[in-house]
Structures are given as C-alpha cells and as structure tokens.
Structure 1
Amino acid sequence: MHNMTGNKILLRALEPDDLQLLYQVENDQSIWEVSGTINPYSKFVLKQYLDNAHRDIYEVKQLRLVIERVDDNFAVGLIDLYDFDPRHKRAGLGIVIFEKEERRKGYAGEAIQLLSQYCFDHLDMHQVYACIGADNAGSQVLFEKNGFVRTGTRQDWLLRSDGYQDELFYQLIRNVH
C-alpha cells in the first residue's frame, strides 16, 4: 500500500520504529473507553503486532495507518479500518488524534476523507461505518462533516465508569451513479 497524501496530512503504514508510539497510545487509559481496551499492552505484544502489520487487509480484516503532518512528518494520530468484510463490502473506521492541541486543525477530517476514498476506489467497498459514544459530540460532528449519516442507536451499548451509554451508528455509503 502506498502513502495517501492530502493537503495537511499523509497516511502511512506502521513501521518498526513506531513501537514507542503504539505503546503510548494503547496504554493511554483516557481512550480505553472508546477503543474497547481493558488492560495495558506490553511492548512485546505490540512488537509482535508491528511484525505482522504488513499483512494484507483481506487476511487480517483490519488496517492501521499513522496520520502524519505533511510539513514535518510528525505523527499526530492513528486511523483504523476494522471488521473488514469483503463479502458485504464494508468496514468500520476509527480514528484518534493523540494530543488536544493537534485537534480541530483538519487532520482527522482529511484522514477520514483519504481513507474513505481509498476504501471506495481501491478496496471496492460499498460502505464505511463508525460507532461513536453518545457523549462524544466532537466525533459526531467530525463524521457528519465528512458525509457520514447517523442511522441508528445501540441502547446501553457501552459500559463506562458512570454507567451504560448509548452508541451511535454512522454510515458513509458509496454514491454510485
């Protein structure tokens, strides 16, 4: 897979020297509720993950890319395709921008646009979807700004520290003329 480049960011494959980056992200408890993580990952486990990150999306059913700023190649986040289903031509999309000061600069929106276009043009996908916690207004606006439509609600889907929360289901369906 080649790098996908936009105006502000580029998406690139994980490299062996991304181990420390993955270690910090996967062990950041502030994002565990949205990532589904319940315990920390060791560097050994993450190294094994990196060693297999080159495997084909059709084999492993997921793809994780690093979001880098174009001007200085600084990694600002990660974007994932998960639950890739070639039979039904769909995949889930998840994104994280690491630092608050890097948010609201257009990086996430451009990454979503680039990866969605890759899904439609190169993977022949019919749709990309996102599952967003009902309290995550920022992500809801982000996905809506990028063409995703809220199509459903899973009630009491996510167990958080303060109780159950609904999860909102968003879809971006390829416009075929």
Structure 2
Amino acid sequence: MNFSIQTPLENNEILLNPLDEKDFDLLYKVASDPAIWKQHPVNDRWKKEVFELFFKGGMESGGAYVIIDKLSGEFIGSTRFYNYIENENSIMIGFTFYAVKYWGKGINPSVKKLMINYIFQYVDKIYFQVGATNIRSQIAVTRLGAEKISEENIAYHSKEPVNPDFVYELNKEKWLKL
C-alpha cells in the first residue's frame, strides 16, 4: 500500500483527524448514548467496556478517524478505512457512528464523500459492511450508489459475537459517473 489510510481530511463542515489514544474520553462521551447503537448488531456498544473493544479495533486498524464538527470543535463520531486488499485494489469503509444530534443533517454523506473522493485516488473498489438490522446505514450506503452484493456473518472483534451483515460495493467507475 503506497498511500495513507489515515491522512487528515476535511471539507467546510467536518474534519477527520487520525484516531489517537488521547481521544478515548471525548469519543466515548459521544458513543455512550444508547440511541446510537439501537439498530447496530452490537447494540450495547454504549457500555464503556464494550466501546473499549471498538476503540481498540480502531487503533489497531491504522485507518480510524475521529469526526469533528469544524464550527463547534466537538467530537461527533468516528469512522475508518480498513481491510485493504492489494490484489483486488479494494478497501472497506465503515465502523461509522455519529452523535444523534447530527443525524439527518447531511453529515454522513459529507463524511463518506470526503473519504470516497480521497481513497478513489488509490483504489478501484470500496466495500461497506452493514449490520442486517441497521436499516439507517443500509439506506445511507445505497444513497451513495453502493449496491448490495452479499450477506455474511461477521464478528467485528474477536471478543464479539458473530452477526449477519450485508456487504455493499461501490466501484470507482460508477462513482465518477454520479
């Protein structure tokens, strides 16, 4: 891989900063709202000990970001690039969550478009894994032009249970035509 999956990214609304150990407390403050995780397969991620696994996975991925509202300076969530597959020239985007007060405000499409435009300089395909019960995220990725290609059983972390996920694909050629 001759590109960074943790370079800072920004637009007029948001800043994506590489996740750092020192970000835990502020990010957990956002993640501790049970409403965020209601549709998620790991719906108890609002608990500190469960969120710690999520955060650790983000640090280990080498591609995780904290999402910051540029106007207020507040931490509003997290997302990441992960699982780069060289022979397929593909990568995944996911593990995204936002503070409830930012839902429906256009932040998710703004974040995803920023990430997609950056990473399509280097890869040809992006995959999104979305929990089978996470209807909100399924709708969000299809609005980006991604198409459902499979269903898989996934454990997000070795200490978490296996859950059904849908896999969506977005290819560069299609994205550039949108």
- 1:19-168 equivalences under 5 Å are 19-23=24-28, 31=37, 33-34=41-42, 40=49, 62-121=62-121, 124-154=122-152, 157=153, 166-168=164-166
Give, in angstroms, the shift of residue 92 of structure 1: 1.4
Q: Which residue of 1 aligns with 2:159?
A: none
Q: Distance in 2 between matches of 1:73 and 1:87?
A: 39
Q: Deviations over 1:66-106 (max 9, x none)?
A: 11112122111111111122332111111433422221111
Return the TM-score normalized by structure 2: 0.69
Of 12, 32, 36, the residue aligned with 2:17 is: 12
Cα distance, 1:42–1:167 mapped onto 2, change above 3 Å: closer
2:111 match: secondary structure: helix
Q: Distance in 1 between matches of 2:23 and 2:42?
A: 21
1:139 match: secondary structure: helix
Give, in angstroms, the shift of residue 130 of structure 1: 0.7
Residues 67 and 77, structure 2, Cα contact 8 Å, conserved in 1: yes
Q: Distance in 1 between matches of 2:9 and 2:83?
A: 21
Cα distance, 1:71–1:42 mapped onto 2, change above 3 Å: closer
Cα distance, 1:79–1:167 mapped onto 2, change above 3 Å: same
Give, in angstroms, the shift of residue 12 of structure 1: 1.5
Structure with max Cα Rg: 1
Q: Which residue of 2 aligns with 1:169?
A: 167
Give, in angstroms, the shift of residue 19 of structure 1: 2.6
Alpha-carbon RMSD: 3.7
Give the partner amino acid of 1:78.
S
Q: Which has the higher contact order (CA 8 A, sep 6+)?
A: 2
Cα distance, 1:169–1:2 mapped onto 2, change above 3 Å: closer
Q: Distance in 2 between matches of 1:71 and 1:41?
A: 30
Q: Distance in 2 between matches of 1:87 and 1:158?
A: 22
Is 105-114 or 82-91 further displaced after alignment?
82-91
Give the partner amino acid of 2:133.
D
Residues 78 and 95, structure 1, Cα contact 8 Å, conserved in 2: yes
Aligned residues: 158
Which structure 1 residue ranges, 5 or more long, are not aligned? Answer: 54-59
Q: Distance in 2 between matches of 1:144 and 1:135?
A: 15
Give the partner amino acid of 1:21.
L
Q: Distance in 1 between matches of 2:134 and 2:89?
A: 27
Give, in angstroms, the shift of residue 10 of structure 1: 1.8
2:113 match: secondary structure: helix
1:104 match: secondary structure: coil
Give, in angstroms, the shift of residue 109 of structure 1: 1.2
Aligned-pair identity (%): 20
Return the TM-score normalized by structure 1: 0.70
1:33 match: secondary structure: coil
Q: Distance in 1 between matches of 2:70 and 2:84?
A: 28
